[in-house]
Structure 1
Amino acid sequence: MEGDPNVGSSSSSAIKKRKRASEVWDEMRKYIDADGKVKAECKHCKKTFDGSSKKGTTHLKNHLERCPANPRRKSGSEGRDRDDQHQPLAPSIKTKELARLIKETSVSGLIRHLSKMEGDTSYDEREDLDPWVLNSRKDEILQLYQEEKEKLRQFLNNLSCRFTLQLVRSFRFGGYLLVVCYIDDCWVPQSQIISFWEHPSCDVEDSMEAVKQSCLDWKIDTKICFLLLSCQIDPADDWDNQIGKIESWFSQRRSLPFAGCLPSALHLLNYVDGILRSKDYLRDEIQSLEECAYYVDNKSRSDKQIQLDGAVEKAISELKESPFTRGGFFEYFEAAVGVKEVFSALEQFDSDFRSINLTKQKWHEVTAAFEHLKFLNDVTDCFLWETLDIPIVVDLPYVHKILTDRCNHPIEDCLFCQEVMKEAIDLFFSKQYLVRAIEFILDPRFKMDGLQLHYKEIYGSDADRHLEKINKDFRDVYDEYAATDSSNSKSYEMLDAMGRPSSPKSELDRYFDMLKVPRDEDFDILAWWRRNAPSFPTLARMALDYLAIEMPSAPNVGISFPLMFDMYKIISNFGFSGLPEIITPLVMLKSILDGAAN
């Protein structure tokens, strides 16, 4: 057979074919997994793909062109065009069809749809999500985004209201969302994501600069009433200085008062934890609690006479983890107070435990810290759940009153109040008192009467002085609105009992003179103002602006959660650096289209 030329030629041809292995295998490792399937692993990023021969190698080439860990990868549209030289181009999607696809599918779904249209027969829905395929429709996405963005920009600028901005830190994808919340001209609460950006370092100055640039881009910089900071605030950061700068920036650009930057109560306890860690607060007491927890845990394992129920076991487990390294101080001290009686009972018959258990003074310090933190936790819940018992004023006199009622709190020489509570309250609540008061006064169920009762309960004989200040501050804000209101306040001429004209009443006086609306939890305050806006035009403008801060769960915010979860899945696989630049306009476009119906 060696002499047979035909056989030799055939064998040589076959050998030659086997040697023509794709170059991708220089950068891919082929192996068989535990299920007996052929896999291909990228040597750069370790991502795995289907490596079977029936899949071919096109999808592997596509990945290597865009692999973030590949030093030879092509970036942007250059890499995509190189692949497309060997693939048939899909017909262009018309703008309306593209808009429909973006609105009806997720970002991941759009990527899969375009991958199939590109004719990639190696496409695998589970493993081969390739965001760079979006560059094949980059121009169309950008054009549609600019068109929809301009429509929304004009819509926002034509509204009568001002806007509440909400800066949200999204830990799902390591970036920020900037949401604009408002009450539209039909008195319906709305919200819309207007920007999002990667910011893994969480730098305060850069974040505030991004907020300013977004406002300028959307041309709403002169119509901002509030900036809500729904992001974690670290006491070690330069928050006070940066908040002061951006408040000054907004104040200089407005014709109506900028109400300020208001940190969300959601992050109040995290902020307090930062203060406590920086001050090494109650470290000796916490070390004693850890020692006691380990002792009880070991004793319950070795001594069958000691049996712990589920709640005590959970508390012991929490006490073994110091809040200086993980967890929160409120949860830690809550667990400690929960087992105080158990520890007290144990030391009655265990002299070894008696020698390590906390002294009476240490338990007093732990209990006092817990009561302070519980107060802050309760206030946080009131704000987050928007209950009717939200305190109008949160200051040290209010704190002292609540804690005195709860646990006979000594006001004098309270280090927790001086070192922790005052700093936290100044940042989170000092700027909210007027906002809360205005919201309360604009609620026709309460008006000034509710404030008077609340202040007298807190301040006693000193209440009139505080009420006088609130009344003056409210009227100052009202006067600024009235000065810019072209429809303002026709004064109504009133007749006395004899039918003779009396002095005219202002819009504000008429509002206060109206009978209050009966208290009802189902009361629709926006519907009331929609009906009464013609009678109280200046106050209605105030209501549009100040009541918007109570609407963080407006319709479009709910739409953003599926979108952000989808982005989280994509970014967790590729990271921001592994995504094409078109992803940001696409996400913004989808958010706008999702909210267009509202």
Structure 2
Amino acid sequence: MLGDEIAPNHIIHFDDHADSLRTTDSSKHGRFKSKVWKEFTPILSAGKVQSAQCKHCGKQLSGKTSGGTSHLSRHLKICTGRSVTNARCQQGSSLQHTLSKNWNFDREESIEELTRAIIANSCAFSITSNEKFRKFLAGINPTFSLVPQATVEERFLSIFSKEKLKLKEEISLTHGGVFLSLGNWEHGLEQNFLCLRLQYIDDNWKINRKIIRCVCSNIAAKCVVKEAIDDWSLKHKILGLAYMCASDKTRVTMDLEENLSGQNYLVAKGKLLTIPCMIHALHELFDWELHDFILQTGVTCFRYMTFSPVRKKKYEEILSKLCLSRPSFGSKRWYLTFYLLKAALQFLKAFPNIEKEDPPSYIGPPSPQQLEAAENFCKIVEPIYDAIKVVSDPHCMTFNSYFHALWSLRTTLQESSTVANIDHVLDLKNMQTQFDKNWREWYLWLSIAVVLDPRYKIRFLELRFTQGFGHDASIYISEVRGKVYELFIQYSFHVNEQSVDMLNEIIRDLHLDAYGCESLYDMSQSYNAQEGHDEFKELNEYLGAELCTQNEDFDILKWWKDNASMYPTLARLARDVLAIPGCAVSSDSAFLELDERASILYRKVSLEVIEALICTQDWIRSSQE
């Protein structure tokens, strides 16, 4: 009844006054014997029950002795909260009954899942012999408490074989080409390991990056690669490779190119596209000792920020807000220095009067010269950090993604040459030389990938190259245009002798185009109009179409999947170009001296088992993403 509802009071549960409730005569309060009180909370006032609060909806009704409990029962019949609770209880009870009825322990499946979990989390196989782990299993299911280590090891080899066979089949059915990346793992022992990864875009337009070999580097790299190509049937699919060591590039490519037979190719028939690992190349910009002045600046800043508990606490606050990947003891030295100086600059900005809050110490703040050095160091190094973050992002592996970060770094290196006292901070001239050397090998393929990005195309490159190269911009733009048209012809199904002759004519005219003559686009349009051919119709329509909107959610692979029927030749080309690997380093180890998986190499097992473990772990983890 409406008259039974009262205004809310302070709620006191039974536990709040347990002592007083124990002395209460239960016969005196007979109303608590009613089942209805199981669904209401008594509310006391001056030691007496004055009201009752519904546990389902929170509504308060009269709970006085004189009122009885019939009104509480009536409320429960119409309580919307109670109906929801009952429905959930019935659903849970039904589900539990169904599970209990249908549940059947499958030991083989459980061992399979346990083994996969052990592999994915880098656990030792001996964990199954651990007493606490066995107790844990026994608590879940007593019949599963004993799993011999030998059983897990045997199941592991079975999983490795199944996953390898499944991956081989997937690659064989993929219509696009594949790329290899050669990474070198150091782990402090006399011998290092060569890690071979495979990268490709499958028929669902998903990019894949899989480890297929991890062997002792005492074995010649060219032998490892050749064996992998034969084992995985890649002879007709391989298009190129990313490398860390220039020596690997020379030895591997020369040997492989003698036996290539792929129908599609990016550089030239029987030639591999070779790309320097971007992460390794960016680390090599610091392939010399950091200047003593910048190192001493870092030491001064650290002591100043951590001298007292008060300052140390504020320093930790800054670190918690720093939008950088936190380094570890195995991080590159340049990154440790950058992280420290970045934190110091924010510390000094956030707490300019720290000495008023904390008593002055004999350790003073960095000098104006040191502060200037820290700012200049961070200004130059930050775009290097950003570029490595982009290239190592496991969710952003298409080749077009890297152009913008590397272009930004190139611009920073050029503009920083005029910064005052820069020689006290970095060997900028050496860094520029190193970067330009790699840029010459990157820029053409990065540019082609940008052309195949419907948000940018050639118009974007024309703007960027004009800004970056000035009067020489036309030379670079012509080179990119020429390669795009050349690749389009190569990937066309209707290649004929006349098309090839026309392509050669365009390439001969590249030199003229670079000095202001008609563009390749105009030449191809003129050729189509005069001769009645439409070899470039698809390409010209794509380049002339409206640009897609730039937003963070844009998925370039989905776009090409959705538009493959409209641009079939370009879609085939995009599948290969966007799959070019930017690095040969794992994402988790981008800022580390050693690969994070190198710890597996210390296990007291055979090299063959180590290789199988690393590969299987990679396949399982990637399938879970």
TM-score normalised by the shorter chain: which range applies?
A: 0.5 to 0.7
Partner of 1:505: 534
Q: Give 1:540's match in structure 2, choosing from 560, 564, 571.
A: 571
Q: Does 1:283 align with 2:283?
A: no
Q: Say if 1:212 and 1:221, in contact at 8 Å, map to a contact too.
A: no
Q: Give 1:310's match in structure 2, choosing from 306, 310, 314.
A: 314
- SS of structure 2 residue aligned to 1:577: coil
Partner of 1:456: 466
CA-CA distance at 1:451 after TM superposition? 0.9
Report the CA distance shift for 1:426/1:191 in structure 2 as closer, same or farther (over 3 A): same
Partner of 1:332: 340
CA-CA distance at 1:470 after TM superposition? 2.1
- SS of structure 2 residue aligned to 1:260: strand
Report the CA distance shift for 1:332/1:485 in structure 2 as closer, same or farther (over 3 A): farther
Q: Matches of 2:474 and 2:293 in 1, distance apart? A: 44
Cα displacement string for residues 11-62 of structure 1 (whole angstroms, at most 9, x for unaligned residues): xxxxxxxxxxxxxxxxxxxxxxxxxxxxxxxxxxxxxxxxxxxxxxxxxxxx
Q: Does 1:394 align with 2:423?
A: no
- SS of structure 1 residue aligned to 2:533: coil
Report the CA distance shift for 1:448/1:103 in structure 2 as closer, same or farther (over 3 A): farther
Report the CA distance shift for 1:538/1:330 in structure 2 as closer, same or farther (over 3 A): same
TM-score, normalization: structure 2? 0.54
Q: Matches of 1:593 and 1:325 in 2, distance apart? A: 32
CA-CA distance at 1:106 after TM superposition? 2.5
Cα displacement string for residues 403-454 of structure 1 (whole angstroms, at most 9, x for unaligned residues): 58xxx74699896321234325634x44321221111111233221111122
Partner of 1:578: 605
Report the CA distance shift for 1:220/1:284 in structure 2 as closer, same or farther (over 3 A): same
Partner of 2:380: 372
TM-score, normalization: structure 1? 0.56
Q: Give 2:179's match in structure 1, choosing from 161, 164, 187.
A: 164
Q: Matches of 2:335 and 2:555 in 1, distance apart? A: 40
Matches within 5 A, 1:229-308: 239-254=245-260, 255=262, 256=265, 257=267, 258-265=272-279, 270-273=283-286, 275=287, 278-279=288-289, 281-287=290-296, 289-291=298-300, 293-294=302-303, 298=307
- SS of structure 2 residue aligned to 1:578: coil
Report the CA distance shift for 1:514/1:192 in structure 2 as closer, same or farther (over 3 A): same
Q: Say if 2:182 and 2:195, in contact at 8 Å, map to a contact too.
A: yes
Q: Say if 2:285 and 2:435, in contact at 8 Å, map to a contact too.
A: yes
Q: Matches of 2:420 and 2:472 in 1, distance apart? A: 20
Partner of 2:457: 447
Report the CA distance shift for 1:384/1:589 in structure 2 as closer, same or farther (over 3 A): closer
Q: Matches of 1:480 and 1:212 in 2, distance apart? A: 26
Q: Matches of 2:111 and 2:185 in 1, distance apart? A: 22
Matches within 5 A, 1:349-498: 358=367, 360=369, 363-385=371-393, 386=396, 390-391=403-404, 394=407, 398-400=411-413, 403=416, 409=419, 416-424=427-435, 426-427=437-438, 429-482=439-492
Specify the code of the residue in structure 1 equivalent to 2:475: R
Partner of 2:92: none
- SS of structure 1 residue aligned to 2:455: coil
What runs of 5+ residues in structure 1 fail to find an aligned partner? 1-96, 234-238, 559-566
Specify the code of the residue in structure 1 equivalent to 2:461: L
Q: Give 1:183's match in structure 2, choosing from 171, 189, 201.
A: 201
CA-CA distance at 1:206 after TM superposition? 5.2
Q: Say if 2:297 and 2:366, in contact at 8 Å, map to a contact too.
A: yes
CA-CA distance at 1:373 after TM superposition? 0.6
Q: Give 1:106's match in structure 2, choosing from 100, 115, 140.
A: 115
Q: Give 2:548's match in structure 1, choosing from 510, 518, 523.
A: 518
Q: Matches of 1:590 and 1:415 in 2, distance apart? A: 40
Specify the code of the residue in structure 2 equivalent to 1:530: K
Q: Say if 1:268 and 1:380, in contact at 8 Å, map to a contact too.
A: no
- SS of structure 2 residue aligned to 1:219: coil
Report the CA distance shift for 1:149/1:269 in structure 2 as closer, same or farther (over 3 A): closer
* Aligned length in residues: 442
Specify the code of the residue in structure 1 equivalent to 2:578: L
- SS of structure 1 residue aligned to 2:578: helix
Q: Matches of 2:430 and 2:462 in 1, distance apart? A: 30
CA-CA distance at 1:402 after TM superposition? 5.8
CA-CA distance at 1:286 after TM superposition? 2.4
Q: Say if 1:187 and 1:526, in contact at 8 Å, map to a contact too.
A: yes
Report the CA distance shift for 1:100/1:482 in structure 2 as closer, same or farther (over 3 A): farther
Partner of 2:49: none
CA-CA distance at 1:469 after TM superposition? 2.4
CA-CA distance at 1:514 after TM superposition? 3.9
Report the CA distance shift for 1:290/1:313 in structure 2 as closer, same or farther (over 3 A): farther
Matches within 5 A, 1:212-231: 212-228=226-242
CA-CA distance at 1:544 after TM superposition? 1.2
Q: Say if 1:103 and 1:590, in contact at 8 Å, map to a contact too.
A: no
Report the CA distance shift for 1:124/1:381 in structure 2 as closer, same or farther (over 3 A): closer
Q: Matches of 1:477 and 1:325 in 2, distance apart? A: 42
Specify the code of the residue in structure 2 equivalent to 1:106: T
Partner of 1:33: none
| Percent of paired sites with the same residue | 18
Q: CA RMSD in A?
A: 5.8
Q: Say if 1:440 and 1:446, in contact at 8 Å, map to a contact too.
A: yes
Cα displacement string for residues 213-244 of structure 1 (whole angstroms, at most 9, x for unaligned residues): 32232121452234346xxx6xxxxx232233
What runs of 5+ residues in structure 2 fail to find an aligned partner? 1-105, 137-145, 320-325, 503-524, 588-595
CA-CA distance at 1:376 after TM superposition? 1.2
CA-CA distance at 1:296 after TM superposition? 7.2
CA-CA distance at 1:515 after TM superposition? 1.4
Q: Say if 2:413 and 2:432, in contact at 8 Å, map to a contact too.
A: no
CA-CA distance at 1:543 after TM superposition? 0.9
Report the CA distance shift for 1:488/1:215 in structure 2 as closer, same or farther (over 3 A): farther
